[in-house]
């Protein structure tokens, strides 16, 4: 039985290894779904801090799934080679805001972040679930980080 607070079912193909990523494959991790694009300034501005948070928390079971609105994978690859490595999971929202992913998550704009707990429940979502807000949510969910 799906409650209103569970992450909706989704299927996306990894642009790194072609594997399928779903809400099922991510069960057991606390993860952030990051809807973004290389052409979205606030999305890009959040990345240095997201990389720091990922590095700090990944050993405690935190993962990020970035889903890009870019029109092609090459653009995302070049961005990751030249700007930010974003060493986590990546997929693409191929059809933009009319894509099944965008419709499923009722997206109206990007950036949009959704923080999901180990059981697939949504902890928080919005365009501000990054930086200090994300950090405090992770502390509440995973306990304080020791670094």
pLDDT in tens, 71-82: 999 999 999 999
pTM, to two decimals: 0.93
The set of residues, in sequence order, having a beta carbon less than 8 Å from that of 3 and lying 6+ positions away, is 121
Structural domain contains residue 137: yes
What element of type H or E holds 92? Answer: strand 89-92
Residue-level pLDDT at 118: 94
Which residue, 49, 40, 48, is CA-closest to 67?
40
For residue 72, the enclosing domain spans: 11-141
Structural domain contains residue 119: yes
- Tokens for 130, please give them: 């990054």
Predicted confidence (pLDDT) per residue in 54-65, tens digit: 999 999 999 999
Structural domain contains residue 2: no
Structural domain contains residue 58: yes
Look up the CATH number of the domain holding residue 52: 3.40.30.10
Structural domain contains residue 5: no
Say whether pLDDT at 145 is over 60. no
Residue 30, phi then psi, degrees to nearest 5: -90, 125
Using an 8 Å Cβ cutoff, are 129 and 44 in contact?
A: no
22-26 average pLDDT score = 97
Structural domain contains residue 147: no
Please classify residue 120 by burial: count the beta carbons closer than 10 Å to its beta carbon, then call 0-12 exposed, 13-18 middle and 19+ buried: buried
Structural domain contains residue 45: yes
Say whether pLDDT at 1 is over 70. no
Number of domains, the chain: 1
């Amino acid at each position: 039985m799906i409650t209103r607070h569970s992450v909706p079912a989704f299927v996306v193909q990894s642009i790194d290894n072609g594997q399928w990523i779903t809400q099922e494959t991510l069960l057991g991790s606390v993860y952030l779904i990051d809807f973004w694009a290389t052409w979205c300034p606030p999305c890009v501005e959040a990345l240095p801090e997201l990389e720091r948070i990922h590095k700090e928390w990944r050993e405690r079971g935190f993962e990020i799934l970035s889903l890009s609105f870019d029109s092609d994978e090459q653009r995302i690859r070049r961005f990751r080679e030249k700007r930010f490595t974003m060493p986590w999971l990546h997929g693409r929202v191929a059809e933009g805001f009319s894509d099944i992913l965008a419709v499923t998550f009722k997206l109206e704009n990007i950036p949009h972040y959704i923080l999901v707990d180990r059981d697939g429940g949504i902890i928080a979502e919005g365009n501000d679930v990054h930086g200090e807000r994300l950090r405090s949510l992770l502390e509440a969910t995973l306990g304080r980080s020791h670094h």
